[in-house]
């Protein structure tokens, strides 16, 4: 950046992470309160998306 005089607005950092559609924990459930039967999800449920976040060196977050 300093050697070639590149402005911070042109330096972009990308990061990606996976986000599960259905959280699979053994301590919590996601159902309506008061139901008598609650479906238990298995740990093998792999449905997820990949989220990519881009941040510019001058502090701005790029839109998706």
Strand, coil or helix: 42: coil
Contacts of 51 (CB under 8 A, 6+ apart): 16, 17, 18, 19
- Asked if pLDDT for residue 59 goes beyond 90, the answer is no
Q: How confident is the model at residue 61 (pLDDT cuts 50, 70, 90)?
A: confident
The residue range of the domain holding 52 is 1-25+36-64
Evaluate whether residue 31 is within a structural domain: no
- How many structural domains comprise the chain? 1
Q: Which pTM was predicted?
A: 0.50
5-58 pLDDT, tens per residue?
A: 999 999 999 999 988 776 666 666 667 888 888 776 666 667 788 988 899 999
Give a yes or no: residue 9 inside a domain: yes
Whether the predicted pLDDT of 64 surpasses 80: no
Contact 30, 23 (CB under 8 A): yes
Residue 41 within a domain: yes
Domain-embedded: residue 30: no
Q: Which of 61, 53, 63 is nearest to 14 (CA)?
A: 53
């Amino acid at each position: 950046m300093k050697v070639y005089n590149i402005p911070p607005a042109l330096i972009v950092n990308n990061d990606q992470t996976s986000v599960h559609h259905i959280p699979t924990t053994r301590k919590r459930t996601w159902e309506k309160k008061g139901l008598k039967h609650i479906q238990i999800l298995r740990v093998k449920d792999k449905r997820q998306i990949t989220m990519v976040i881009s941040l510019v060196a001058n502090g701005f977050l790029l839109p998706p």
